[in-house]
Amino acid sequence: MRDLNALHLNGLRAVEAAGRLGSLAAAAAELGVTVGAVSQQIIRTERQLGRTLFERTPKGLVATEAGDRLVARLTGGFGEIAQGVAAARRREEGVLVISVAPVFAARWLVYRLDRFAAAHPDIRLRIDATTRLVNLDTSDVDIAIRVGAGRWPGVTSELLLPQAVFPVCAPALAERLRAPSDLLSLPVVIDDRAMFGWDLWLEAVGLAGAAVRVRHVFNDASLCLDAAVAGQGVFLGWATLAAHALQAGQLVAPFPERAPTGFGHYFVTSPSRRESRAVAAFKAWVRAEIAGLDAL
């Protein structure tokens, strides 16, 4: 242990992150520092050890044999440290920590939490609303809900709901829509961070190649939904996003056609953790709530 006094912990963290993730940029993003800082930390650690840990190539860093051995040990060691820290921070039993995207939390989950509390008064929820993919092995997050293709490395993914999109708009605009082609004469609002576009739904209703009239572009689906509620245009939404506004009569889904995106909502958990009673209860409750979206 005394040998560690000659090495900087930040340098070892930089070596481990770069070796595990395969690039300086990815390591910098995880550590919250600049690429230059990671590079300097690695160089300093190599000098302190007196040996090269990475070869610099046009394609990036490639670990040497010594670097591979060190990174493997560091990954295991930092994993143990992180689990120890998480255990020290772990809240009292009965609190379930859930990581979800902010739009899912704000537009779907929050409206239903009172029903979960009524069904499970012994479980208190803590919602971590973030788009960041947390490390489920080392954080205090018990379960996450994510949208994607379900192929995230190092986790267990369970499909909750396939994502399908459909137009939604204010009731006043809906009065002008009798057939899908009528939509082409109305303004639309666009989420420029979406993993799909209007062409997906237009093709599903026989309007492949048609162009929509864009009024506003946002970088947040929740803002798009607000614009649609305000009557500023038609928005291409999905069930968990638009459910509350549809049920409240703020929005209308003028057409029954739904276009699959190829993505879905997934439960994401750590394969190394045994499923707790609270996680099982939350998953069962969410599935029951999701089942009610079929009527939208």
252 shares its domain with 175: yes
142 shares its domain with 206: no
35 shares its domain with 151: no
Give the Cα-Cα-Cα angle 244, 249, 250 (nearest 5 degrees).
Answer: 75
**Residue whose token pair is 């051995």:** 69
Alpha carbon separation from 123 to 61, 115, 118 (Å, rounded): 46, 12, 10
168 shares its domain with 233: yes
114 shares its domain with 127: yes
219 shares its domain with 243: yes
Q: What is the Cα–Cα distance from 242 to 192, expressed in whole angstroms?
A: 18
Which of 46, 74, 89 is the last residue in one of the domains?
89
Within 13 Å, how many C-alpha atoms sit on residue 175's CB side? 3
pLDDT, tens only, 185-243 = 999 999 999 989 999 999 999 999 999 999 999 999 999 999 999 999 999 999 999 99
Radius of gyration of the chain measured on its C-alpha atoms: 24
Confidence of residue 107 (pLDDT cuts 50, 70, 90): very high
245 shares its domain with 192: yes
Q: Could you tell me if 270 and 137 are in contact, meaning their C-beta atoms sit under 8 angstroms apart?
A: yes
pTM for this predicted structure: 0.69
Residue 92: partners with Cβ closer than 8 Å, 6 or more residues away: none
**Residue whose token pair is 């120890």:** 84
Q: Which domain holds residue 177?
A: 163-261
pLDDT, tens only, 53-98 = 998 887 778 889 888 899 888 888 887 776 666 655 555 456 899 9
Tell me which amino acid residue 68 is: D
Alpha carbon separation from 230 to 43, 203, 223 (Å, rounded): 55, 27, 11
Which CATH number fits the domain that encloses residue 40?
A: 1.10.10.10
Which CATH number fits the domain that encloses residue 283?
A: 3.40.190.10
Q: What is the Cα–Cα distance from 65 to 52, expressed in whole angstroms?
A: 9
141 shares its domain with 277: yes
Secondary structure E strands in the chain:
54-57, 60-63, 95-100, 124-129, 143-148, 156-168, 187-191, 213-218, 234-238, 259-269
62 shares its domain with 31: yes
**Residue whose token pair is 């770069």:** 18
Confidence of residue 49 (pLDDT cuts 50, 70, 90): confident
Confidence of residue 253 (pLDDT cuts 50, 70, 90): very high
153 shares its domain with 181: no
198 shares its domain with 268: no
Residue 198: partners with Cβ closer than 8 Å, 6 or more residues away: 188, 190, 212, 236
Which of 41, 61, 89 is the last residue in one of the domains?
89
How many structural domains does the chain have? Answer: 3
Which of 43, 59, 89 is the last residue in one of the domains?
89
